[in-house]
Structure 1
């Protein structure tokens, strides 16, 4: 399964990556649209920084 964490520049990505890895997946961290669009599962970290994260996505 292709698991991707969107790099918004606003979150602790290592923490998210470790949590996903504990479930047996090897997530990629990327902001490359081609990588993100091919994800089977996409994580959008940054609940505490939602506005800043959305600004980066735009």
Structure 2
């Protein structure tokens, strides 16, 4: 398992999750957190995920 912290705008993070992670069959997303506001800015947020290598399909 790998823990990943994403930081950017909500739109950028959603794009990454939809376009990159959802289309990659080698990665399995185990858990996704809610968005957290960054201190000192209203533009950028954080999002945490747990990912692992996808199990091989027969």
Instruction: Assess same fold via TM > 0.5.
Output: no
Query: Which of the two has higher C-alpha Rg?
Result: 2
Q: Report which of the two has the higher share of helix.
A: 1
Q: TM-score, normalised by structure 1?
A: 0.30
Q: Report which of the two has the higher share of strand.
A: 2
